[in-house]
Amino acid sequence: MPRSPPGVAACETAPNIALIKYWGIRDPERNLPYNSSISVTLDRLRSRTRVRFRPGLTADEFRLNGVRMGGGPLGDVRRFLDRVRDLSGVTDHAEVRSTNNFQTASGLASSASGFAALAGAATLAAGLDLSPRQLSQLARLGSGSACRSVFGGFVEWRRGTRPDGRDCYARPLFDEHHWPELVDVVAIVANAPTKVVRSASAMQASVRTSAEFARRQRELPARIDALRRALKNRNGPALFALIMEECDSFRRVCETTTPSLNYLTRTSREVLEAVRLENAVRGEAVAGYTHDAGAHVHVFTLRANATRVRARIQAIRGVSATHVLHAGPGPRILRVTRG
């Protein structure tokens, strides 16, 4: 890892939506998951982060969307910067400024794009030149899902089996141009609650208390294989059926956690029901829903059906907006200046 003096760097990354969910950590110290997961990195949504190491600064500072952060978010960023300092030998503290052009902490994966952008900007500002795989492993330590946002397109995070985590990282399956007909209509749900507990903590309650967790782990390898195949063959109906099955399995684990985790609002549930109805009327899966730990719902469909599906969802009371997204590119470096 070549080094040069610390300076300033900025990086832009996109959130990803998990088609196969990461939910459960087997090693909290190294952030190693119980299962592999698969996601799509999205276009249009982004986190843009600038890191400046400054001699004389007495503590790291973090501004998110113009607001000076303290508490958990600041602590998470500081711990992450400590890892970058350990790797690089840089001793200065840093100013971190980040903006998300979408809602933070509401299930649209701001932690994924946020920590992938921080990993990119902080390592470059510290003079490190990491490979994409090393960057993925580093980003994973900030937020598990962030290890997938280091790549564009369709991405798999392999759980690995080594106790030291060296075989646990994300890798691209197909780039963002693989399946241009695939559309993600995101239903933005009005009054979606802001999460107070990060997903990484919530999922550990599921590991401890949900009777469904072990069953889900047994089912996942076959579902992951089937999903990889559906993506490879660009098979819409197979993909849509699989992501709904997976999302329902994830939601069952959440709901059987003590205390129960309920991320959806009534409106979110109406969106799921609308997709089920549309598929029933059409006699095949023309669309498939999925959601992360939050109320907004992603509805995947093919371009030929996108207008109809979008209109159907937009008409649901409580859906405040719909965004039409596609698979998007990986990180973009915006600036690097050595100190």
Q: Which residues sit at the interface with ligand ADP, rule CB under 6 A?
A: 47, 49, 64, 72-73, 76-77, 98, 100, 104-112, 114, 118, 195, 198-199, 292-294
**Alpha-carbon gap, residue 13 to 32, rounded angstroms:** 22
Nearest-approach distance from CB 127 to ligand DP6, in angstroms? 27
Q: Which residues contact 158 (CB under 8 A, 6 or more apart)?
A: 36, 167, 168, 169, 170, 171
| Of residues 107 and 127, the one with the C-beta less far from ligand DP6 | 107
| Of residues 279 and 290, the one with the C-beta less far from ligand ADP | 290
Burial class of 293 by CB neighbour count within 10 A (0 to 12, 13 to 18, 19+) = buried
| Of residues 199 and 268, the one with the C-beta less far from ligand ADP | 199
Nearest-approach distance from CB 280 to ligand DP6, in angstroms? 27
When CB distances are held under 5 to 8 angstroms depending on the partner's kind, the choice from ligand DP6, ligand ADP, none that residue 98 binds is ligand ADP
Nearest-approach distance from CB 151 to ligand ADP, in angstroms? 17
Whole-Å CA distances, 122 to 4, 64, 143, 195: 13, 15, 15, 26
Residue nearest ligand DP6, Cβ-based: 111
Helix (H) or strand (E) holding 274, with range, is: helix 266-282
Of the candidates 164, 166, 168, which has an alpha carbon nearest to the alpha carbon of residue 148?
168
Q: Fill in the amino acid letter for 264.
A: L
Residue nearest ligand ADP, Cβ-based: 114
Of the candidates 318, 314, 322, 309, which has an alpha carbon nearest to the alpha carbon of residue 267?
318
| Of residues 52 and 140, the one with the C-beta less far from ligand DP6 | 140
**Alpha-carbon gap, residue 168 to 158, rounded angstroms:** 6
**Alpha-carbon gap, residue 22 to 169, rounded angstroms:** 13
When CB distances are held under 5 to 8 angstroms depending on the partner's kind, the choice from ligand DP6, ligand ADP, none that residue 301 binds is none
Nearest-approach distance from CB 141 to ligand ADP, in angstroms? 13
| Of residues 14 and 285, the one with the C-beta less far from ligand ADP | 14
When CB distances are held under 5 to 8 angstroms depending on the partner's kind, the choice from ligand ADP, ligand DP6, none that residue 206 binds is none
**Alpha-carbon gap, residue 336 to 339, rounded angstroms:** 10
Nearest-approach distance from CB 73 to ligand ADP, in angstroms? 3
Tokens found for residue 7: 């300076």
Nearest-approach distance from CB 18 to ligand ADP, in angstroms? 11
| Of residues 21 and 159, the one with the C-beta less far from ligand DP6 | 21
DSSP annotation string for 227-262? HHHHHHTT-HHHHHHHHHHHHHHHHHHHHTSSS---
Of the candidates 213, 83, 95, which has an alpha carbon nearest to the alpha carbon of residue 143?
83
Residues that bind ligand DP6 (CB under 6 A): 18, 21-23, 37, 109, 111-112, 143-145, 198-200, 292-293
| Of residues 21 and 223, the one with the C-beta less far from ligand DP6 | 21
Nearest-approach distance from CB 151 to ligand DP6, in angstroms? 14
